Amino acid sequence: MDPEIIAEYQKKFPEVFSIVEGILERFPELDKLLKSQGAVKEQIEAQSKQVLEAVAKDMKPYRDQFETFRQLPAEGRARADVLKELKTMQQAEIKKWKEGYVSGAVYHGDNSHIEYLNEAYAIHSQSNPLHTDLWPSASKFEAEVISMVGRMLSEGAGESVQSELCGSVTSGGSESILLAMKTYRDMAEAERGVKNPEMVAPVTAHAAFDKAAQYFKIKLRKVPVDGSFRADVNAVKKAINGNTVVVIGSAPAFPHGVVDPIEEMSELARAKNIPFHTDACLGGFVLPFARKLGYKVPKFDFNLPGVTSISVDTHKYGYAAKGTSVILYRNAKIRHHQFFTVTNWPGGMYFSPTFAGSRPGGLSAAAWAALVSIGEKGYLEAARRILETADFIKKEIVKIPELKLLGDALYVIAFASDSLDIYKVMEHMTHKGYSLNGLHRPACVHIALTLRHAEPGVKERFIEDLKAAVLHVKANPSEKGSSAPIYGMAATLPVRSVVGDILKTYMDAYYKV
C-alpha cells in the first residue's frame, strides 16, 4: 500500500494503529513474519510480471500473423478467407495435443471420431432445447443420454433404483457441480429450514465446489485427506452439523487420481439424512469399465444408498464434443429444487432446467451420437487401453529413484520428488512439448491419461523424456528456469490473495485484444 495512504489512515485511526504497534512489539516474530511475507510478495509479483508477459505473448501468437479486429470491419470478409484463417489456426494447434503430449484436454482425438461428432453437430446446429416445440429431437437426445449414463452408474442396483434416476445435460463438470450445490442449498432450506448452509468436502475436491460456495453463499468446510490422499472419514464425521446441506466425495479426485472412501462417507451422510454428492466427472466413464476389467474400484455410484447425486462428464472419457456433462439425481423430487420457473412474467411462462436459457442442441446431439456409436464394448476397450498404458507408466516411474508416486491411482498419475524440484522437472518436460499439470500441497505433477497416450510408442516416449528431465535437473541444480520459481512460491506463499491477483491478471491478458 502507498506510504501516503498509510499515513493518512494513521491520522484518521490512531487508536487502531496504536493497538497494531503494541501487538507487533509484544510478538516480534509476527512482525518478522509479516515483513518476510511482504518481501516474498514483492518477489513473486516481480517474477510473475515477467512470466505473465511471456504467457500473454504465447497466448496471442496470431497477432503478427493475422489481422486483429478491435471493431467490426466496414465490409464483411469473404467466407473463404475466414475459413482459411480458421483452418490455419486449427492446424497449428492440433500439433500440441495430437501426439499425446498433453495431460487430459483431448480425450479421444481420432480423426474419424472428430469428423463424426462434427457432422452430428452440424446437422443439429440450429437446434435449441429451450424451444421444445420446435426441436423435440433435443428432448430425445438429452433424455436418452441421461438414462444411458444413469444406468451405467447404477448397474446392479435394481430396476426400482434405476427407474427413479433422473438428471440434466449441462455445459460441463463445473455447471453440473454448481447445479447440484444450488439444488441442495434450496432443498435444505425448503425441507429443514436451513438458513446458513454448509457443505463438507475434502481439500482435494474440485475447485468448482469453491466456486459454488462463493456463488451461492454456502460455507465450505474442507476436511483433510489421509496418507493415501483419500478423504479422512473421521474428519468428515466431525465436520457434519445441523447446517450441512451436502457431503461431497470424488471418484476420482483431480489432483492425485484416487477415489475417496465414498461408501463410508455416504453412510455418514445418510445416517444424518443429509444428501451425498459423488463427483465422477473424471471417473464416470472409466471406473465402471475398470471394474469389469478386474481392477480394484471402490464403490462410488448409485449402488450405495447414501449417494443422492453424481456429476459425470460426457465430454471427457465419454468422448462427446466439448461442452456437455450430466448431473444425475436419485429421484425427481431432488431435481425439482434445481429447476427454475417464472409464472407471472409479462413475456409468458418461463422455465429452464439449468443455468442457461438457450443452449446448443447440436452439442446434445453429438453427445448422444458418441454414446450410441461407441457402446459398452467400445468404452470397455477404451478403458482397457488407457489402464494398460497407466500400468506401464506407473511401473516405470517407480524405477526412477528420484521420483515417487502419490496415492494408488488408476489413470490420473501424480508424482513427486524428495530430492529434486519437481516443478523444474515439469518445466523441462514443457520444453520438450509436454503440457502437464503442476499441483501443490504437496508439490507434484500429474498426467491424466487419455486415448492419445494409448497410441503406439507414446508411453515409452513419455518415460524416456521424463528420465531425461530428471537427469537434467539433477545435473543442473542451480538452474532457476522461468516458471518453476513461480510454482514454488505460489505453492508456499501464505498470502493467498497475492496468487489470486496474479491469476486475475492472467485472465485479463486472455481477454486483451
DSSP 322-352: SS-EEEEESSHHHHTTT-EEESS-TT--EEE
Q: In the structure, what pLDDT confidence band is assigned to residue 504 with cuts at 50, 70 and 90? A: confident
d(CA 362, CA 513): 29
C-alpha grid cell, residue 398: 517407480
User: Angle of helix 458-475 relative to helix 361-398, nearest 10 degrees?
Assistant: 60
- Say which DSSP state 308 is in: -
CATH number at residue 161: 3.40.640.10
83: helix, coil or strand? Answer: helix
Closest CA to 411 of 444, 438, 382, 434: 382
- Say which DSSP state 253 is in: -
Would you say residue 164 has pLDDT above 70?
Answer: yes
Q: Is 323 inside a domain boundary?
A: yes
- H/E stretch holding 24 reads helix 14-26
509: helix, coil or strand? Answer: helix
Q: What is the pLDDT of residue 1?
A: 46
Q: Is 435 inside a domain boundary?
A: no
pLDDT digits (tens, 9 = 90+) for 193-226: 999 999 999 999 999 999 999 999 999 999 999 9
Instruction: Please state the domain count of the chain.
Output: 1
Closest CA to 266 of 278, 254, 284: 278
Q: Which of 2-11, 49-58, 235-244 has the lowest mean pLDDT?
A: 2-11
280: helix, coil or strand? Answer: coil
Q: Is 274 inside a domain boundary?
A: yes
| Gyration radius of the chain over CA positions | 25
Would you say residue 394 has pLDDT above 50?
Answer: yes
d(CA 329, CA 326): 10
Contact 446, 415 (CB under 8 A): yes
Q: How confident is the model over 78-103, as a mean pLDDT?
A: 95
Q: Is 393 inside a domain boundary?
A: no
CB count in 10 Å sphere of residue 424: 25
CA of residue 494 relative to chain centroid, distance = 24
Q: Is 144 inside a domain boundary?
A: yes
Would you say residue 491 has pLDDT above 60?
Answer: no
Q: Is 483 inside a domain boundary?
A: no
pLDDT digits (tens, 9 = 90+) for 444-486: 999 999 999 999 999 999 999 999 999 999 999 888 766 654 5
Q: How confident is the model over 118-122, as a mean pLDDT?
A: 98
Q: Is 13 inside a domain boundary?
A: no
Q: In the structure, what pLDDT confidence band is assigned to residue 9 with cuts at 50, 70 and 90? A: very low
Closest CA to 99 of 114, 110, 87, 113: 110
What is the domain extent for residue 148?
137-337
- Say which DSSP state 231 is in: B
Q: In terms of C-beta density within 10 A (0-12 exposed, 13-18 middle, 19 or more buried), how is residue 482 classed?
A: middle
pLDDT digits (tens, 9 = 90+) for 285-332: 999 999 999 999 999 999 999 999 999 999 999 999 999 999 999 999
- Helices and strands of the chain, counted as H and E runs: 18, 13
Q: What is the pLDDT of residue 401?
A: 97
Q: Is 487 inside a domain boundary?
A: no
DSSP 169-199: EESSHHHHHHHHHHHHHHHHHHHH--SS-EE
pLDDT digits (tens, 9 = 90+) for 133-152: 999 999 999 999 999 999 99
- Say which DSSP state 121 is in: H
d(CA 354, CA 315): 17
The pLDDT mean for the chain works out to 90
Q: What is the pLDDT of residue 32?
A: 58
- Say which DSSP state 135 is in: -
